[in-house]
Chains A and B, each alone.
Chain A
Amino acid sequence: MSLNGRSTYPRITRGVMAIAALSLMAACTTDAPDESDQPADEPAPAATEGAVADTDSEWFVLADYERQLAQRDVTPEGPADQPWLQMIEPELVDMSEFADAAPGKTLCFANASVSNPWRVTGFITMQEQVKVLQDEGLITDFRVSDAADDDNQQISDIQAFVASGECDALIVSPVTTATLTPVVESACEAGLPVIVFDRGVNTDCMATFIHPIGGYAYGADGAEFLRDNLEPGSTVLALRISPGVDVLENRWAAAEKIFAESGLEVLGNEFTGGDGATIKDIVTQYLQRGDVDGIWMDAGDGSVAALEAFEDAGKPYPVMVGEDEMSFLRKWDETAITAIAPVYSNFQWRTPILAAQKIWAGEEVPSEWVLPQQPITADDLKAFLEANAEMPSLHYAKFGGEELPGYPDVWMNR
């Protein structure tokens, strides 16, 4: 179309140049001078045989890695039948500044979201735990805000809680570690006890930070299992959910290190978004190009889809790393595969409530409350299956709520 008599080709050229410029910018890594504390980027994920050295990088801190791996073998302090109260190597801190024996407390909880079955299970458990304390009269008001996985929303939620002045304690499950740090610090400064659990933040001003041993240990549990159950030279496919989520990145960093030292060949690590169809498709395509002897996943979402890919392709099952989600455990039992279910202890959702109780009672709590993190192995499988036989398939076996009122109906009929 040349209404004004101009030729059309310069327009195309300009357009193509615009796209080329944008794509070049995307391809080049010449952003503004980068003097931040962000160390050299890892190269784009590909087969990583022997590529990882023992040095720190953005997601791999050697000291933390070794500490977590060692903590797996430490006997936790506390009752063995109540793992949500156990502590590993605790450094107890005096909490008398927050002690307040009066009943009728308001407990506030800024939740990241309930956007996946793990969080849904945990939140149900937490609510049941709160009911126990409500029956005792300690808590009268349990206020929850849900940020739908939006950092900005959660910052506003926490600010709203702090500004209301009515919270006697604030529990936070952050959406992202780094971005929630400033607002948690401001909450600490406001003088109320802040309890952080699950992902954590980059400060230690809070009363306690509750978490299971950690991502390195989780990743290592799975990677070591593969290393011990596969011959050197066997192939392993790593399936990851998303880049940039620190808990998940730590898991992969640990696994990558172990694979590099193990003689296993990592075919690739793919981001799946946790979507079953994507997972199945990716695994199917790898199977079309050769054998896959082991699958490592950074979380159990879609683990069943991965196994089904092998079924549909008519290939023998791999050595599998899943999670304590019931659908995976049941599939494991049904197919008799060699597998392990690393656990990101779901019962950690009970601990913050009990920590608040301790703090109000003036008891000491650890500045960092490390909960045990024990994978489910073939030996424990039957026991967990029986205990959760009536539970829905997206329930998590280590939810820790068996003696709470409401068991089993509240979880069964979620």
Chain B
Amino acid sequence: MSTAWSVTRRRHRLGSTEVVYLALLGLLALSAVLVAASGGNLFSQANLVDMLTRSSLLGMVAVGQTFVILSGSLDLSVGYVVAWSSLVAATTMAGDPARVPLGIAAALGVAALVGLANGTVITRLRVSPFIATLGVGLIIKGYLDTQYKGPAGEVPASFQAFGYSRIGPLPVSAIVMLALVAAGAVVLARTRLGHHMFAVGGSQDVARLSGIRTHRTVISAHVLSALMAGVAGVLIASRFGTGSALVYTAGYDLNSIAAVVLGGTLLAGGRGSVIGTAGGVLILGVIDTVFNILQVDPFFKDVLRGVIIIVAVAVYARRQIDPSSRRTRFPAGRTAGGEAR
């Protein structure tokens, strides 16, 4: 098989990001038909707002998780970071509108520290990311359960509006999420850090040998992931009017990983995009909304989610994924067998 021919073949294939959005469009079309058949309108303002709201929080967390997974790592502590930052934000604000910026800063600061701890444990102590972030998450869980028993703090009404208001059909939370997605895409495509993340995820040794500070990259990825979770926590505090420790039971860790792989990012790292992740999150959000409208048994949602994740990743693995979404400086050997696994 000549190299020229395989390159031509590859150009005609769709990238994984395109596949996600095609799937999203297909899902929207199917859902619109089903909803119309039951007498509703999927694209009414209320439903659009619903879809976007349900996607926004997971979307923020998933953007952070994308950075981490691209770098070849993993973050299982995001749920706890969300809970902790919501509590820090709410208790710092303490009902005083003047303290809102301080509350946000404190929440993000705490989140960044956790990301730093995660990254340091993984790189310096050489603990695998699964264990490291699981352990850090448990440490935070114990702290939250002891220090805050359930909801605590008070968010002033002016900031609560942030969680509920919208511009046209776009809830403010969705705008923030989309802004973070855009920022994430820029970081990955245009900054050195972004390129380094792809490199480190593709092959840590090769990246180190080419002069990239792999430890710094991994730590940065974790700090960014935790910051995203921190933003989500602040948003949760505004929606709840208070902070809540119990948010960590909402499954942000595994659901964000699911959204990331649904969006075409390779779990091993080195390939993927934030735009794809956003598509994955929107797919999950649309499913949530449609199930609600059609009054389908909510447990069926879990079954469907599991099946979709597996099918999606199987599809990506089966196809030759478009190398244009890769950024590895030194592509891992494309052997004569042409395996892109």
Contact = CB atoms under 8 A, between A and B. Distances in A.
A–B in direct contact per CB < 8 Å: yes
Interface of A: 3, 11-12, 14-16, 18-19, 21-23, 25-26, 29, 31-38, 41, 44, 58-59, 143-146, 148-153, 155-157, 159-160, 163-165, 176-183, 186, 243-246, 249, 271
A244 B246 contact: yes
Contact of A12 (B91, B125, B163): B125
A25 B124 contact: no
B150 interface: yes
B142 to A, nearest CB: 7
Interface in B293-341: 293, 295, 298
A178 B91 CA distance: 14
Given A16-B125, A41-B147, A157-B292, 11 more contacts: A35-B96, A36-B152, A148-B298, A151-B247, A155-B239, A159-B49, A160-B50, A160-B293, A179-B239, A244-B150, A249-B149
B258 to A, nearest CB: 15
B257 interface: no
Given A22-B114, A249-B150, A14 B120 contact: yes
B240 A38 contact: no
Interface string B166-203: 00000000000000000000000000000000000000
Given A12-B124, A18-B124, A36-B91, A164 B147 contact: no
A18 B53 CA distance: 36
Interface in B106-138: 106, 113-114, 116-117, 120-121, 124-125, 136
B126 to A, nearest CB: 8
Given A181-B241, A243-B145, A176 B164 contact: no
B50 A156 contact: yes
Nearest to A177: B151
Contacts of A144: 295
* Residue among B57, B240, B249 facing the most chain A CB atoms (10 A cut-off): B240
Q: Which of A18, A152, A164, A165 has the most CB of B within 10 A?
A: A152
B94 A36 contact: yes
B140 interface: yes
Interface of B: 45-47, 49-50, 53-54, 57, 88, 90-92, 94-96, 102-103, 106, 113-114, 116-117, 120-121, 124-125, 136, 139-140, 142-143, 145-154, 160, 163-164, 208, 236, 239-242, 244-247, 249-250, 288-289, 292-293, 295, 298
Contact of A179 (B50, B95, B116, B244): B244
B130 to A, nearest CB: 17
A58 B103 CA distance: 22
A31 B49 contact: no
B240 A32 contact: no
17 contacts: A12-B124, A19-B125, A22-B114, A22-B139, A31-B92, A34-B91, A34-B94, A36-B95, A36-B152, A38-B152, A149-B249, A153-B54, A153-B288, A155-B240, A156-B288, A182-B241, A243-B145
Contact of B57 (A152, A176, A181): A152
B116 A163 contact: no
* A-B interface, 6 closest residue pairs, ranked by CB to CB distance from nearest: A244-B150, A163-B46, A15-B124, A15-B125, A179-B240, A26-B143
Nearest to B251: A150
A335 B95 CA distance: 53
Contacts of B149: 58-59, 243-244, 249
Contact of B124 (A14, A149, A157): A14
A160 B292 contact: yes
Nearest to A17: B120
Contacts of B150: 176, 178, 243-246, 249
A158 to B, nearest CB: 11
A20 to B, nearest CB: 10
Given A18-B116, A149-B249, A179-B240, A32 B142 contact: no
